Structure 1
Amino acid sequence: MTTRLKGIGAHAVLLFFAATALFPLALVLLNSVKTNTEIVRNPLALPSTFTFENFVTAWTYGEFGTGFLNSVLLTGTTVVVVLTCSTLAGYVLAGKKIRSWPVVMVYLTMAMTVPVQLFVFPLYSIVAAVDLLDNPMVVGVIIAAINIPFATFLMRTFFLNVPRELEEAAQVDGVSTAQFVWHVLLPIVRPGLITVGVVVGLNAWNEFLISATFLQDPDQQTVTLGFLSMNGTFSTELGAMMAGALILIAPVLAIFVALQRYVVDGIASGSVKG
């Protein structure tokens, strides 16, 4: 009986936290199909009539069509660069294949603690000097550099869980390092790759400071900047703002829901060793 009561209590707590997390999303969805008058009157009430004009307005004035393309380019570049660099660095550091690996670990730790704001102006000067402003892929590389230390630590943890005997057996069989990493290690650490890709991808999609600094051309701005540009014009049009917010978060929410099992498994398996 005591065990059953504990289980009911645990489920009640989980349901409370789930409701707390889902309530804002439900409120955004509810108000995105209501007129501004209905939202002001009672944001918690059901709409008298469903209207999708808010989505049309948000999509048009937020320039979400161009913004989505730029966001995909930026996020895709970030994820590819981070996965490539962090995978190779994590493999080397996990296997202690260089003598200076403790120094590298200290450097990565320090890199994660330094605020990115310290590098914005020097980076801007360099990027402007080589005429690479207003390029989403360049911004993707910059964001990737910010995320690589954390991703390297995480990938190193996954590689630490791979038995050393596996690599020794591959060397005996004459398998090269590149073949071993590509055909043997990457399938084993796939949960880690998915976890890093999702976490870094979400950060890149929602990133504001770097994007706003380096993407000033409206035709090169991301969907996040497009939504924020609506703030001044549609600050009183709550329905359009709610619809824009829903358009902004819907893709990342769908991707996270689709891959959440892999992310949870990856975090769990990557926490065994440190």
Structure 2
Amino acid sequence: MSISATAETQAQAGRRPDTLKNGAIQILLLINAFIMVYPLVVMVLSSFKTNAEIFTSPFALPASFSLANVDKVLAETNFVRYLANSVGVTSAAVLLILVFSTMAAYAIARYEFRFSSLVLMFFLSGMTVPLKLAIIPLFIQLDTLHLIDTYAGLVLVYVAMGIPSAIFIMTGFLRSLPREMEESARIDGASEWKVMTAIMLPLARPALVIVAIQNAVPIWNDFFFPLILINSDDHKTLPQGLTVFMGEFTTNWGVLFTGLSLAALPITLLYLVLSRQFIAGITQGAVK
């Protein structure tokens, strides 16, 4: 047997375990994708069904793709109002989280000062204790500030929840960026604000997208804090507002599934639009 044939045989033998490993990984990913997507498919299909269809054939296709449940959602509830409230609260909270966490992370990552590590640990300590454990003193404090049943009180709570993890992600990403570009900009006479906004932030766009998605999804889906802090129907967000379909004795499941499907649509579209930047941020080590 020639040397080239022997080398080819060894290469094929080395590739065989890798092929089996990759195949097993692909199978596991497909199973995981099925487990994650199938409940969503059932939810969407159930939104076209009546209560009788849901109980008799919960996993079958609907008899007809009627929009009667959509009409009930829009006509019998303040769904549009709940949707606008969720969009406003989520957008305001994510925007404030991005602004404050970026400025704090930039100072910690790009400037050298004596207590930088201590300041970072102070922010990271906010990730160790869930804010829900402090709901009683938090409620008392917001009530003293007259922020109960207001958008501002809800947004401030979400900002306080999101800033620690956002600073952690942004600091790790900004520390990985080379210093040569910002030093060149300073030599050319650029101000510190210009260096941050025109040079560093465009490079940190994948990390900003990660922070935005990581905070937008739980804020959009949150039910606990609106339940505690919001009283009036006009200020309710979608998760809290959709509970009107759950009666004490009966529940219109078709209409409820329709509301849930419509509520999941905006955040799903947001992820699809930003998915490329999200994946880029992960592969570049933004969460090291």
TM-score by length of 2: 0.88
Whole-Å separation in 1 of the counterparts to 2:250 and 2:262: 17
- For 1:119, the equivalent position in structure 2 comes to 134
In the alignment, structure 1 segments of 5+ residues that lack a partner are: none
In structure 2, do the counterparts of structure 1 residues 249 and 234 end up closer, same or farther at CA, with 3 Å as the change threshold? farther
- For 1:15, the equivalent position in structure 2 comes to 30
Does residue 219 (structure 1) correspond to residue 234 (structure 2)? The answer is yes
Superposition deviation, residue 153 in structure 1: 0.5
Contact 1:92 1:98 in 2 (8 A): no
Does residue 108 (structure 1) correspond to residue 126 (structure 2)? The answer is no
- For 2:4, the equivalent position in structure 1 comes to none
Does residue 172 (structure 1) correspond to residue 174 (structure 2)? The answer is no
Q: Which has the larger radius of gyration?
A: 2
Match runs of 1:235-246 below 5 Å: 235-246=250-261
What SS does structure 1 have at the residue aligned with 2:247?
Answer: helix
- For 1:198, the equivalent position in structure 2 comes to 213
Does residue 139 (structure 1) correspond to residue 154 (structure 2)? The answer is yes
Whole-Å separation in 1 of the counterparts to 2:249 and 2:197: 50
Contact 1:140 1:204 in 2 (8 A): no
Whole-Å separation in 2 of the counterparts to 1:6 and 1:253: 31
Contact 2:125 2:164 in 1 (8 A): no
In structure 2, do the counterparts of structure 1 residues 117 and 9 end up closer, same or farther at CA, with 3 Å as the change threshold? closer
Contact 2:126 2:164 in 1 (8 A): yes
Q: How many residues align?
A: 273
Residue among 92, 114, 124 paired with 1:77: 92
- For 1:261, the equivalent position in structure 2 comes to 276
Residue among 50, 59, 63 paired with 2:78: 63
In structure 2, do the counterparts of structure 1 residues 257 and 233 end up closer, same or farther at CA, with 3 Å as the change threshold? farther
What SS does structure 1 have at the residue aligned with 2:189?
Answer: coil
- For 1:153, the equivalent position in structure 2 comes to 168
Residue among 54, 60, 66 paired with 1:45: 60
Whole-Å separation in 2 of the counterparts to 1:69 and 1:128: 24
Whole-Å separation in 2 of the counterparts to 1:174 and 1:115: 44
- For 2:197, the equivalent position in structure 1 comes to 182
Contact 1:36 1:237 in 2 (8 A): yes
Contact 2:44 2:261 in 1 (8 A): yes
Contact 1:71 1:223 in 2 (8 A): yes
In structure 2, do the counterparts of structure 1 residues 151 and 16 end up closer, same or farther at CA, with 3 Å as the change threshold? same
Does residue 98 (structure 1) correspond to residue 113 (structure 2)? The answer is yes
- For 1:32, the equivalent position in structure 2 comes to 47
In structure 2, do the counterparts of structure 1 residues 74 and 235 end up closer, same or farther at CA, with 3 Å as the change threshold? farther
- Please give the per-residue CA displacement for 1:99-135, whole angstroms capped at 9, x wherever unaligned: 2112112212221111212332222222222322222
> Which stretch has the larger CA shift, 128-137 or 2-11?
2-11
- Please give the per-residue CA displacement for 1:172-209, whole angstroms capped at 9, x wherever unaligned: 22211001001101111011111111111112111222
Runs of 4+ more than 6 Å apart: none
Whole-Å separation in 2 of the counterparts to 1:59 and 1:200: 28
Contact 1:73 1:137 in 2 (8 A): no
Whole-Å separation in 1 of the counterparts to 2:246 and 2:113: 51
Q: Which amino acid aligns with 1:171?
A: R
Superposition deviation, residue 68 in structure 1: 0.9
Whole-Å separation in 2 of the counterparts to 1:174 and 1:92: 20
Does residue 130 (structure 1) correspond to residue 148 (structure 2)? The answer is no
Contact 2:51 2:254 in 1 (8 A): yes
Q: Which amino acid aligns with 1:182?
A: T
In structure 2, do the counterparts of structure 1 residues 172 and 56 end up closer, same or farther at CA, with 3 Å as the change threshold? same
